Amino acid sequence: MGLANTAPTGPVIALAGNPNVGKSTIFNNLTGLKQHTGNWPGKTVGIAKGHCRIGARDYTIVDLPGTYSLMPHSAEEEVARDFICSQEPDMVVVVCDASRLERSLILSLQTMELCKSVIICINLMDEAARKGIHINMSLLSSRLGAPVIGVSGRNKKSLGALTSLIASAPPPHRPMRFKGSDDTHRAVATVHKAEEICRGAVVCTKGEYSTFDRRMDRILTSRSAGYPIMLLLLAFIFWLTIIGANYPSQLLTALFDKGQELLSRLFDNLGAPPWIKGVLLDGVYRVLTWVVAVMLPPMAIFFPLFTLLEDAGYLPRIAYNLDRPFKRCCACGKQALCMAMGFGCNAVGITGSRIIDSPRERALAVITNSFVPCNGRFPTLILVISMFFAGSSASPLSALLLTLAITLSVAMTFAATKLLSMTLLKGEPSSFALELPPYRRPQIGKVIIRSIFDRTFFVLGRAVSVAAPAGLIIWLMANVNIGGLSLLSHCAGFLEPFARLMGLDGVILMAFILGFPANETVIPIIIMAYTAEGSLLELGADSLRQLLISNGWTWSTAVSMIIFTLFHWPCSTSLITAYKETHSRKWTIVVALLPTLVGILLCMLFTFAVKLFT
């Protein structure tokens, strides 16, 4: 969706600023929920657009991508520059970081050279005050020749002064033009000008205010402690997700069971044919509610925890730590952020590859993203680990073993990236600038709301949209009989010889195939096939373990199941997203085949090793 297709309402105000200055927080507080996102025409870089009312007038607010300069070196900077130069905005509000004002003013000065009406909004004043930084707003305004206002974007009330200034701001005086023989001289002149403007207008009374950040970075980004801390933190998040998701999952399942009973009685009262009841209730409804009950609780826990790390400033440290191993794979360190997004949803991680400038490295990120398990694969991993190795999903051992499995998936991501860099996608790794933002106290309330609405419901909505038709197909295969056996049994029998080479059986492999629309349905399909029932069943952990053992499962079957859960074809949503991002059938096929071949190979090697040594 291009923003050019949406007619603006009232004057257009562009919000520009460096990354991590709180620009999006100001945008969200100004527009509330009256916003939508889209791509700049011809680009995959996202722009958010919303509306707000100031006084008696409506305004259109456009949140531009975070950029350090209007001399573009990336897609984000190019989009910001193009929008500002398009003469579409009636006003540009440049959001600056009060604790890093010199750097922020570089973009402000460049913007003022291009636009007639500019407001300098200095954000994070509360954070600057805690660090002992004091800013003389009137002196800055006179030196810049533009209105300057200080705000704390997290506090919606503090934006009243900004909205008043927007409604009444006169065109600023033109700043001094910078002359230089080329872009380099011009950039140097802009930096010197920013330093001159801040001299005397910005005073710090606490000496070195970034001491705490530097001490933390010595620990969290060090070679000796950085990686262990990442693993421990990951294990802790998984443990909280596992513990916290159990009860709400059971509650939702019981609630949906009651709903099915009521709907069943309604169908009986209406005299609906049994096959209609079977298709809609035992098929579509049962699969749909299973996906919601299994996916929603862990997502509602995992995404907020993950967003808290992002809000606190830790995720860029993870990207910094993983930059070196990705460089060794001839890839970009930003791929670490895409990989991290993939833990929630591979489709989101694939979309997140837009932050990578190089087409080659973006393709690497898209192809390898499904090597890390998404939220939809966690229930299967947790269930198998707890039943065969940990004894209980609530055991800390479950979280530890799950973390080891995730570590294996990360290692295979590096291996696959290196393989592609040496074959299909040869090239040298590009360099990029990565800012380590200051550590901040997370906004817990806003983080929960943002993660639930922007991430949890988004991912859940995609899963639900494919779960309904999947339920129909699963029911038909389980209930249409040929020669006394269901289609599901016939297909499982056909796959049996190949599945045995992988340490699995035909039912398990068929369940993965039918789980293509939604990975959450793999275990339910296995249960349905083993019990020869025509609809999905839910069993307790003990009953399920006995059912699996009675159908030939051993510890080695469980390990093969874990391996293939980690590495197999992405879900339909991820593949569709990969095609939209790459616009290439070739690369979409590679996205599907590469993890599948890796999973088959690892399962076969493991099965061969077990037979060799037992």
pLDDT at 75: 67
Q: What pLDDT score was predicted for residue 448?
A: 76
Return the CA Rg of the chain: 27
Question: Distances from the Cα of 565 to the Cαs of 154, 166, 477, 508, 572, in angstroms?
Answer: 41, 53, 22, 11, 15
Q: What angle do CA 116, 119, 120 make, to 5 degrees?
A: 130
Among 338, 576, 296, 312, smallest CA distance to 458 is for 296
Residue 106 has pLDDT above 80, yes or no: yes
Query: Residue 439 corresponds to which tokens in the numbers above?
Result: 């550590």
Q: Residue for token digits 């001490």?
A: 215
pLDDT value at 239 more than 90: no
Distance of CA 611 to the CA centre of its chain: 40
SS3 404: helix
Q: What is the pLDDT of residue 4?
A: 39
Looking up tokens 């998404």 gives 374
Cβ atoms of 429 and 327 closer than 8 Å: yes
Distance CA 212, CA 229 (A): 18
- What is the pLDDT, as a whole number, of residue 531? 79
Higher pLDDT, 561 or 82: 561
Encode pLDDT of 296-319 as tens digits. 788 788 778 877 887 788 888 888
More confidently predicted of 71 and 199 = 199
pLDDT tens track for 322-349: 888 998 999 988 888 888 888 878 888 8
What's the pLDDT score for residue 57?
87
Q: What is the pLDDT of residues 134-189, one digit of tens each?
A: 999 999 999 998 999 999 887 878 888 899 888 886 555 444 445 444 556 677 78
Q: How many CB atoms lie within 10 A of CB 354?
A: 20
Residue 227 near residue 321, CB atoms below 8 Å: yes
Residue tagged 């071949």 (tokens): 597
Listed in sequence order, the residues at least 6 apart from 514 whose beta carbon sits closer than 8 Å to its beta carbon are: 470, 473, 474, 477, 488, 521, 525
Q: What is the pLDDT of residue 606?
A: 97
Question: What is the spatial distance between Cα 124 and Cα 138, in angstroms, rounded to a whole number?
Answer: 18
What's the mean per-residue pLDDT of the chain? 83
**What pLDDT score does 611 carry?**
92
pLDDT at 151: 92
Q: Tell me the residue type at 379.
A: P
Residue 322: how many CB atoms within 10 A of its CB? 24
Closest to 365 measured CA to CA, from 174, 590, 559: 590
8 A C-beta contact, residue 558 and residue 566: no
**Cβ neighbours around 44 below 10 Å, total:** 16
Q: Give the dihedral sign, CA 475/479/480/482.
A: positive
Give pLDDT, residue 493: 94
Residue 236, token pair as written in the block: 């802790």
Question: Residue 536: what residue type?
Answer: L
> What distance in Å separates the CA atoms of residue 534 and residue 477, rounded to the nearest whole number?
9
Q: What is the pLDDT of residue 513?
A: 93
State residue 41's pLDDT score: 42
> For 220, how many CA atoms within 13 A lie in the half-sphere containing its CB?
19
Most confident of 148-157, 197-206, 492-501: 492-501
Which range is least confidently modeled, 197-206, 240-249, 389-398? 389-398
End-to-end CA distance of the chain: 58
Question: Residue ranges of the domains in the chain?
Answer: 3-209, 226-428+442-613
CA angle 489, 494, 500 (to 5 degrees): 105
Picking from 1, 94, 106, 101, the residue whose alpha carbon sits closest to that of residue 44 is 1
Tell me the per-residue pLDDT of 20-40, one tens digit each, with 9 for 90 and over.
788 888 998 888 755 544 444
User: pLDDT tens, 93-103?
Assistant: 999 999 888 88
Which region holds residue 136: left if phi is over 0, alpha if psi is between -120 and 50, else beta? beta
The yes-or-no verdict on residue 534 having pLDDT over 70 is no
Cα separation of 563 and 381, whole Å?
9
**Whole-angstrom Cα distance, residue 391 to residue 393?**
7
DSSP-derived secondary structure for 155-217: SGGGGHHHHHHHHHPPPPPPPPPP--SSHHHHHHHHHHHHHHHHBTTEEESSS-TTHHHHHHH
The domain defined by 3-209 carries CATH number 1.10.1740.10: no
Question: Is the pLDDT score of 44 beyond 60?
Answer: no
Q: What percent of the chain has pLDDT over 70?
A: 87
* pLDDT exceeds cutoff 90 at 85: no
Residue 15: partners with Cβ closer than 8 Å, 6 or more residues away: 23, 26, 27, 61, 62, 63, 64, 92, 93, 95
Instruction: Write down the pLDDT at residue 359.
Output: 87
